[in-house]
Structure 1
C-alpha cells in the first residue's frame, strides 16, 4: 500500500468518523429538551455496559479481518480472502447474537446489581439488540477495508449516525407524549439499534451490488492450498484478542462510573431521580463536549503508530526521538486551549447548546481530562509503534484502580457529588499518561524540551484565557449569551494562535496538524511569523 493510498484511506475514515461524531453531538441537544436531565441519565446508564459488550465481542475483529483479507488480496488470492470474510461473518453473527441475548436477558440483574434507577429498564431493552447489527457491520467494514476500499466504512458510519438520530429522536418524541420520560429514554436508546440496522442494510446492499465483481476476482484467483477453517479462526482470534483487551480496559473507565456513581450518590443523600439527572449532565452534556477535541486525538494517534514503526524499523534513533517529541508537542498544542476554553466557558457553552447551564460546573472540571486523555492516547500509540503492546494496558489498569478509589471517596461527599467522578477521571488519566511517558522515555531516551513543548503553549493559553474572560463578560449583557460565547471562542482561538506565532511556540511541522496549515505555512514563513524547525 503506497503512502498516498494510506493517507487517502485515513483521510476518508477520519472524515466519516468526525461527521458521525458531530451527528452524535447534535443528537444529544434535542434529546436533552425532550427528556430532560433525568431522561438523559436513564439513557446514559446502559452505554458503558453496552460498550463493554462490544469491546469483548466485536472490537478488534474488523482489524483482524482487514489485515487477513489484505494479506491474501495482495498475493492475488481473492478466493482465500473471501473465505476469511465468510468465516468471520458467521463468527461475528454468533458473537453479536449472543451479546444481544445476554444484554436483553440480564437487564433486570444489571439494574439490581448496579443499583440503577428502575426506569433504566426501557433504555436497556432499546440498546440490547444493537450488538447483533454492529457485529454484522463490523464484518463488512473489515472486508472492504482489507480490499483498500475505505469509502463504505465512512459512508456506513454516517448512515448509522443518521439512523440513530432519526430513529432515536423520532421514537423519543412519540413515546414521551404517549407514555413518559422513561419510555422516551428507551426510544432514544433504540436509536443505536436503528442506526446499526441502517448501516448494516447499506453494507449488505453494497456487497450484493458488488457481488459479480467479487466473484470475477475469485474465479481469476489461482487454486492453491486451501486454509482450514480452524486455522483461519485461530488467526482471527490471535490478531483481535490484544485489541479486544485494550478496548475492554479502556471501557472500564465508563463501567466504573456507571457502576459506582449511583450508589455513592445515594450514600451522599441524593434520590434516584437526582442521581440520574447528575449522571445525565456529566455523560450526555459535559462528556459529549469533551469528546469533540478527543476526535482529533484519535486521528493523531492513528497516524503516529506507522510513523513510529517506520523509524524503529530503520533504527534511526534521532528521527525516532524527533517524532516522539513532535507527537507530544502537537497533542499539547490542541489539548491545552481546548481544556482551558471549555472550562472557562463551561456554563455559557452548555447554555448555548442545551438551553440551561445545568452541568456547567461538571464541564468546568471534566474539561481538564482532555489534556491527560489525549496524552495517554498519544503515548499509547507511540508505545504500540515500539511494539510495546502490554505496557499501556497495564498503565491504564493502574489508572482505573486510582479512579475507583477517587470515585468511592469523592462522590459520596455531598458538596462534591458527581464532580468527584470528573476529578477521578482527571487523576486516573494523569496517572496513566505519566506512566506511559515514563515508559516512552525509557525505550526512546527522548528528552522533552520543556520550554518549547510546555511553557510556550501554557503562556499562549494563559493570555487566551484572559482575553476569553474579558470579551465574554464585557459583551454578555449587551449581546446575550449566544453571541458572546461564539465571539469569545473565535477571538480566543485567534489570540492563542498568534501568541504562539509571536513567541515561536509552533513550527511548520506542527502547522500540518492544523486544518489548512499547509496553505498558511509558506505565507507565515515569508512574513517571518513562523519559526523554522532545526535540522
Structure 2
C-alpha cells in the first residue's frame, strides 16, 4: 500500500461512504417498515446516548493520531509514528472497556431519572453497550492509517462494519418483534457490536499486511531523537481533548433533541406516542438523508486533516490554501444542488424511501442545512489539521446554545411542532459554519469564491426547474412515485452537470486532479466542446 494523494484519499472515502450509506439507507427503509415511526423513535432515543458514550471513550484520540502521525511522517520519523499509534491504542482499549460497562449499567439510571422519557428504550440502550469497546479500538487503527494518508483500510473496514451491522440489526429486530416493539428496537441496537467487530478484523488484516514494509522503513531511517512517552501522551491529550469535545457535541446536539423535542411536542398538544413518532420522522428519517448528501464533504474533511497537517509541518502555506480551495469548491458543487433537489422532492423522497409522506416537511427544512453542514465539515477538518483543535468545539458549543433556545421555543408552538425542531437544527449548522469560516480566514486568509459559488447556484436553479417539470410529467405518465422521483433526480443531475460546464463552473484543472480518470475525462469533454483548457 502506498500513500494516497489528498483527492484520491477523499475519493476512496467517498466511494466507501456512498456504499455505506446505500447499505444504511436500505437498513432505514427495512427498519422503518419493520418497526414503524414509534419503533424507530425508540431506537433513536438510544442511539444518541451511545454516540455520546463512544465520543467520550475514544476521547478524540483517532484525530490526534492522524495529526501527529502525519507530522512525524512529514519529517520521515517512522519510529515516532509507530510509537504514537501503539501508545494511543493502549489508551483507547482501556477507555473503551470502561465506557462499555458504564453504558450497560447506567441504562437503568437514565430511565429512572427521566433523561429518556420512554422507559421502553432501556433495552435498546443496554444492547448498544458491547459495541463501544470494538468501535473504540477500531477507531485507533483508522486514525493510524489516515495519518499515513492510506484511506483504503478505513474505507474497506467501513463497508464491512456497515454490512454486518445491518444484517444483524434486521435479523434480531425481526426475530424479537413478536416479543414487543421495545425488544425489536433492542435487537436493532445490538447490531452495532458484530458490525464493529467485523470492521476491526478487516483493519487488523491491513495492519499486518502493511507492517513488514513499515518495519523496514523504521530500520533504515536516519537516527532521530525519539519523543518520550510522556510527551506523546501529553500532546495526544492536548489535541484529543478539544477534538473529543467537538465529537461529543454531535451526540450532545442529538441528546438536546431527545431531551427537548418530545417534551415540547407534548406541550404543543401531542400525546407521548405521537411525539415519539414525530421524533422518529425528524431524527430517524430526515437527518440520515442530510448526512447522505454530505458524504463527500465528510470524506474531504477526513482527508484534509493529515494533508493540512503535513503541509503545515513543512511550512507550505500555498499548498494549505490550494487544498482548502479545492475542498471547498468540490463541497459547494455537491451540497448546493443536493439542497435544491432534496428541498423540492422532500415528500416524494419520504414516500419512496420510508413508505410515508409524513417525514416530507422535516426533510424539506433540513435540506437547507446541507450547504451549511458541508462548509462546517470542511472547515473543521482544516482547523484540526492546523492544530487549532479547540476552535471547532467552541463554535459548536455556541451554535448548540442557539439550537437549545430555538428548539425550546419553536417546537412548543402548535403551528410548527416538529418543524420548529428542524429549523433549530438548520440554525445550528449555520452558526457553526460561519464561525468556522471566520477562523479559517483569520489563520489562512481563505474566503469562499463568490464567482464559483454563484455558478453553482445558477446551475442548481436550472436543475431545480427541470426536477419539478420532470416529476410532474413522469407522475402524469406513470402514476408511480418511485419512478417519477428517480427519473427527475437523474434528469436534474444531468442538467446540472451540463449547465455547470456551460457557465464555466468546472475548469480543466479541477477535473485533472481526479485520480486515474481525470485527464482522460478532461480530454473527452474538450473534444465535445464542453470544456476548454
Matched, 1:161 2:162: yes
Q: Distance in 2 between matches of 1:250 and 1:264?
A: 21
1:407-486 to 2 correspondence within 5 Å? 407-446=407-446, 448-450=448-450, 452-479=451-478, 480-486=480-486
Residues 430 and 146 (structure 1), Cα distance of their counterparts in 2 relative to 1, 3 Å cut: closer
**Which stretch shifts more, 223-232 or 397-406?**
223-232
Contact 1:330–1:513 (8 Å) recurs in 2: no
Alpha-carbon contact 2:474-2:487 (below 8 Å) kept: no
Contact 1:168 1:194 in 2 (8 A): no
Deviation of 1:152 after TM superposition, in Å, equals 3.9
Task: Decide which moves more: 235-244 or 271-280.
Answer: 235-244
Q: Give yes or no for contact 1:64–1:236 (8 Å, CA) kept in 2.
A: yes
Greater alpha carbon shift after TM alignment, 477-486 vs 12-21: 12-21
Alignment of 1:179-328 (within 5 A): 179-203=179-203, 230-305=230-305, 324-328=324-328
Q: How far did 1:94 drift? A: 2.0
Q: Which residue of 2 aligns with 1:525?
A: 526
- The reply to whether residue 373 of structure 1 matches residue 362 of structure 2 is no
Q: Which residue of 2 aligns with 1:125?
A: 126
Deviation of the 1:160 alpha carbon: 1.4
Tell me the CA shift for residue 132 of structure 1: 1.3
Cα distance in 2 between the residues matched to 1:86 and 1:386: 23
* 494-503 or 401-410: bigger deviation: 494-503
Q: 1:76 to 1:44 in 2, by over 3 A?
A: closer
- Residues 3, 150 of structure 2: 8 Å contact kept: no
Alpha-carbon spacing, 1:440–1:189, altered in 2? closer, same or farther (3 Å)? same
TM-score of the two chains, using structure 1 as the length reference: 0.86
- Map 1:51-200 → 2, pairs under 5 A: 51-58=51-58, 60-65=60-65, 71=72, 74-75=76-77, 77=79, 85-111=85-111, 112-142=113-143, 150-177=151-178, 179-200=179-200
Call closer, same or farther: CA 1:401–1:206 in 2, change over 3 Å.
same
Secondary structure at the aligned position of 2:506 is classed as coil
Distance change (3 Å), C-alpha of 1:441 and 1:356:
same
Instruction: Give how far 1:506 is off.
Output: 2.7
User: How big is the shift at 1:6?
Assistant: 6.2
Q: How far apart are residue 115 of structure 1 and its match?
A: 4.3
The alpha-carbon deviation at position 437 of structure 1 amounts to 2.6
For residues 153-179 of structure 1, what are the alpha-carbon distances to aligned partners after superposition, in whole Å with 9 as ceiling and x for unaligned?
3332222112211111100000012x0
The secondary structure found in structure 2 opposite 1:129 is helix
Q: 1:498 to 1:446 in 2, by over 3 A?
A: same
Contact 2:336 2:457 (8 Å CA) reproduced: yes
Distance 1:520 1:365, change over 3 A: same
Structure 1 segments unaligned to the other structure (5+ residues) = none
Q: For structure 1, which segment, 214-223 or 44-53, has the greater mean C-alpha deviation from structure 2 after superposition?
A: 214-223
Q: CA deviation at 1:436?
A: 2.5
**Structure 1 residues 307 and 522 mapped into 2: Cα distance closer, same or farther (>3 Å)?**
farther
Count of aligned pairs: 528
Cα distance change on mapping 1:201 and 1:310 into 2, 3 Å: closer
Structure 1 position 398, deviation (Å): 1.4
Cα distance in structure 2, aligned partners of 1:514 and 1:286: 31
CA contact (8 A) 1:506 1:531 kept: no
Q: Secondary structure at the match of 1:482?
A: helix
2: CA distance between counterparts of 1:367 and 1:29? 19
Residue 190 of structure 1, CA deviation: 0.5
Report the Cα distance in structure 1 between the residues aligned to 2:26 and 2:98, rounded to whole angstroms.
31
Separation in structure 2 between the aligned mates of residue 386 and residue 194 of structure 1, nearest angstrom: 36
The verdict on how the C-alpha distance between 1:331 and 1:231 changes in structure 2, with shifts beyond 3 A counting, is closer
Shift in alpha-carbon separation, 1:164–1:513, aligned structure 2, 3 A: farther
**Equivalent-residue separation in structure 1 for 2:234 and 2:384 (angstroms):** 22
Partner residue of 1:394?
A: 394
Of the structure 1 ranges 298-307 and 423-432, higher mean CA displacement relative to structure 2 is found in 298-307
Unaligned runs of 5+ in 2: none
1:117, 1:273 within 8 Å by CA — same for their partners in 2?
A: no
SS in 2 for 1:113: coil
**What is the alpha-carbon distance in structure 2 between the residues aligned to residue 305 and residue 63 of structure 1?**
8
Q: 1:395 to 1:2 in 2, by over 3 A?
A: same
2:494 aligned with 1:494: yes
**Residue aligned with 2:191, SS:** helix
Kept in 1: contact 2:146–2:306 (CA 8 A): no
Q: For residue 42 of structure 1, what is the aligned residue in structure 2?
A: 42
Following the alignment from structure 2 to structure 1, what is the Cα–Cα distance between the partners of residues 204 and 314?
42
Residue 190 and residue 365 in structure 1: after superposition, are their counterparts in 2 closer, same or farther (change >3 A)? same
Give the CA RMSD over aligned residues: 3.6
> What is the alpha-carbon distance in structure 1 between the residues aligned to residue 269 and residue 483 of structure 2?
39
Question: Please, which moves more after superposition, 244-253 or 308-317?
Answer: 308-317
CA contact (8 A) 2:169 2:187 kept: yes
Distance 1:206 1:309, change over 3 A: closer
- Deviation at 1:295? 0.6
State how far apart, in whole Å, the 2-side matches of 1:362 and 1:314 are: 46
